[in-house]
A and B are shown apart, each in its own frame.
Chain A
């Protein structure tokens, strides 16, 4: 194990095999974003098109059937906002906060 907490070559499974399923859930990709999707729940009719089109499965369905965007996995591609017929999702530029 190195200083940064990354595994050394002897510790990585042979041939770079990833032996645990769903390991991509460990990766926070929010720094990749230039634009952030913002969902206006008042305009949303819960049609589910954003959920269907999101290539990263970063949109989840809540118990009441409404939708929420998980910004840990959202790369800001903007497909959801294009897919939304009611323009309930707007892409907002990420600013330093």
Chain B
């Protein structure tokens, strides 16, 4: 084991190197670029024996990854924002064709106006593409999650997207514990993967699925996603035992005799914890819950954790204009509909396009949630920090 000072992006690159990938195909885009820049360096130096495919777009990058993955190769790509949007149609093919691709998505707002800063609208727009979505909120977590992602992807034969917040995680340097390469290889051995694209097999892949077959083909990937719920937790617990760091699909903080909770995802969890700690010292019974596995969404467990809480504030860094509320809110509301005593929910949309969310604003969110819980009535989504 060694300790290195790494940015979130470099942590992803080191994890990919240790996973000994066979093929990388990517196109540069801010703020993801330094991941594939580092990986191309590793390949050029001979530190990583992989095929690095330079492509002319993200659409081609993911297409190359799908093809490579079908030959049984271990495959990685990385992107952000417009790049992920440009991969859109291939994302659905990757999941339905059951290609265990791992992608780092460095979360960035979508144009217009052109904006390179962090929010979650890129990943949320691809919510229904059939990819497993994991969210990492520190450089260490990016490293560990990326390593885990290969194991999860190859186990359930579905692609995995590792999300990390642009700049806040991607460009912040932190000390990262890097395990010995041997340990990582033992955890994710380069096992011979299902090889479907081969000159020796007369298989047809990506065929037409007429109405008589499309539903069944699609359901195979839906079933794999459902089965991944249990496998992800087993794989996490195996990771925890081997590497001594503890990951889960839901994180909870300050939950003893909690009355109201702020639910977050990604790097904002850190600020929420700091604010919750200070509110606790002032006698407020606040807690924080963070989602690490957005797809598959841990509905049942979350309902168990939140079912007894009086009020829940849900903070989204994305919107669904014209929808009932924002994406994270909708999932939380759905999973709580069937609990006996439904908690009061208060939605917040914050930090779009990289807008900083201050400690004061977090306090406001906790207080608005408390107020909603006390009055038994919540307001429509509150747009935090929006100038009137």
Contact = CB atoms under 8 A, between A and B. Distances in A.
A23 B204 CA distance: 9
Interface string B94-126: 001111000000000000000000000000000
A64 interface: no
Interface string A1-40: 0000011110010111111110100000000000000000
Interface in B214-240: 215-217, 219-220, 223
Nearest to B202: A21
Interface residues of A, number: 14
Given A15-B98, A23-B204, A9 B223 contact: yes
Contact of A15 (B97, B212, B215, B223): B97
Contacts of A18: 203-205, 207
A12 B203 contact: no
A6 to B, nearest CB: 6
Given A14-B157, A21-B202, A23-B204, A7 B216 contact: yes
Interface string B78-97: 00000000000000000011
A7 B216 CA distance: 9
A71 to B, nearest CB: 21
B196 interface: yes
B196 A17 contact: yes
B219 A16 contact: no
Contacts of B189: none
Nearest to B212: A6
Nearest to B196: A17
Contacts of B219: 9
A6 B213 CA distance: 8
B159 to A, nearest CB: 12
A7 B219 CA distance: 13
Contacts of A14: 98, 157, 194, 220
Interface centre among A9, A12, A15, A19 (most CB of B within 10 A): A15
B380 interface: no
Contacts of A12: 213, 216-217, 220
Contacts of A21: 202, 204
A42 B194 CA distance: 55
B216 A9 contact: yes
B175 interface: no
Contacts of B196: 15, 17
B304 interface: no
Nearest to A12: B216
A12 B196 CA distance: 14
Contacts of A9: 215-217, 219-220, 223
Contacts of A8: 216
A82 to B, nearest CB: 26
B213 A16 contact: yes
A31 B207 CA distance: 21
Contacts of B5: none
B209 interface: yes
Contacts of A23: 204
B158 to A, nearest CB: 10
Contacts of B96: 15-16
Contacts of B97: 15-16
Closest 8 CB pairs between A and B?
A21-B202, A9-B216, A15-B98, A16-B217, A18-B204, A15-B97, A9-B219, A14-B98
Interface of B: 96-99, 157, 194, 196, 201-207, 209, 212-213, 215-217, 219-220, 223
Given A16-B97, A18-B207, 5 more contacts: A6-B212, A9-B216, A16-B96, A16-B207, A18-B203
Interface of A: 6-9, 12, 14-21, 23
11 contacts: A9-B217, A12-B216, A12-B220, A14-B220, A15-B96, A15-B99, A16-B96, A16-B207, A16-B217, A18-B207, A21-B204
